[in-house]
Amino acid sequence: MKFRFAIIFFLSALLFPVKAQDHLSIQFGYANNLFNSKLYFDAITEYKRLQFFDSAKTYNYDLNFKIGECYKAGAKYDFAVKYFSFAELSARNDDEYYDSKTQIIRTNILRRTTDRALQLCDELEKDQRFISKKDEINYWRGWTYIFADDWEKAAKSFAKINFRHELKIFAEQTDKAKVSVTFAKVISYILPGSGAIYCGKFLSGLMSLGWNFLAGFWTINSFVEDRIFDGVVIAELVWLRFYRGAIQNAEEFAVEKNLEVANKSLRYLQNEYKGIKP
């Protein structure tokens, strides 16, 4: 009888850890609900609470990963990288390690620490465990170049995945839509205002051309009429001012145009693109 009683007692005692586990999982579920409701600040609090009371560190990886995701969603990228790094350290298998590492890359892309993101991509690529993940690594490398405004290299990275990759075509289109700053400046040296016209600023380009013609006429006219000093002063103060202005304008317009093109493409990627984003 005593023995049977002891067996029952022993079995009931065995049930307790299951119940204890439930408590932690309930808390994890509660924190996940907050996370899914995009209440990131509260979610972090609850994940941290669970992390504090989870003395067996059962949820260590998941919690660090989730906290990192919360910080990332709240644009606190430095904290996000810190927690993804903790997740990387507490990863229980290669998949978890890979996931946390890619999250670190994605966060670096968002905070525009391009060199670090590329360095991490290279590290992952060299790692023999992730030989099958090459496409994914190239995908994030492409995104890194997009955020670094290097659309040509981005297209090359996406081309390594698939020559007809959607983002490869898109990056090429963006690169083609951009104008050359050097070319805009050079043609402005030859014909003032042409750089602005090349960048699509027709009125500004024509005005610049007009001012240069007028100032040039005054200068030459002064020399023709033997008013040498007059000619030198007009050339220096008026003609050169418009000539230099045309070159400067060409450069500024080209930079501005490139920025517009890049921003338009980024807006498209942010709002319209359906694939995975950093």
Partner 1 sequence: MIFKTKITERLLFIFLLIIIPPTTINCQLTTDRNLFTSKSRLQFGNYLYMDRDYLRAAGEFKEFLKSESNDTIVFRLANCYFKIGSFAEAADNFKGLFFGTQLSEEARLLYYESIFFQNDYKSLRELAEEKIYFSSKYSQEIERLKYISYFLDKSTLPDENIVLRNFPDSVQSRLISFYQQKKFPQHKSPTTAAILSTFIPGAGKIYTGEIGDGITSLIATALTTYLAISNFKADHQFRGWLFTGVAAFFYVGNIYGSAASAQIYNARIQFSFDKEVKLFFEQRNYFLPKIDF
Of the pair 53, 189, the CB lying nearest partner 1 is at 53
Q: Does 225 bind partner 1 (CB under 8 A)?
A: yes
Q: How far is the CB of 235 from partner 1 (least distance, A)?
A: 12
Binding status of residue 224 toward partner 1 by CB under 8 A: no
Total chain residues near partner 1 (CB under 8 A): 28
Q: Which is nearer to partner 1, 215 or 247 (CB)?
A: 215
**Measured distance CA(199)–CA(261) in Å, rounded:** 12
Is-contact 188 247, C-beta < 8 A?
yes
Among 36, 52, 190, 270, binds partner 1 (CB under 8 A): 52
The reply on whether position 49 binds partner 1 by CB under 8 A is yes
Question: In the complex with partner 1, which residue's Cβ is closer, 1 or 190?
Answer: 1
Dist. CA 105–CA 12, nearest whole Å: 48
- Between 169 and 208, how does the x/- string for binding to partner 1 read (CB under 8 A)? ----------------------------------------
Residue 237 makes contact with partner 1 by CB under 8 A: yes
Is position 64 an interface residue for partner 1 (rule: CB under 8 A)? Answer: no
Q: Which of 230, 245, 266, 273 binds partner 1 (CB under 8 A)?
A: 230
Residues forming the site for partner 1 (CB under 8 A): 2-3, 6-7, 9-10, 13, 16-17, 19-20, 23, 27, 44-45, 48-50, 52-53, 218, 225, 227, 229-230, 233-234, 237
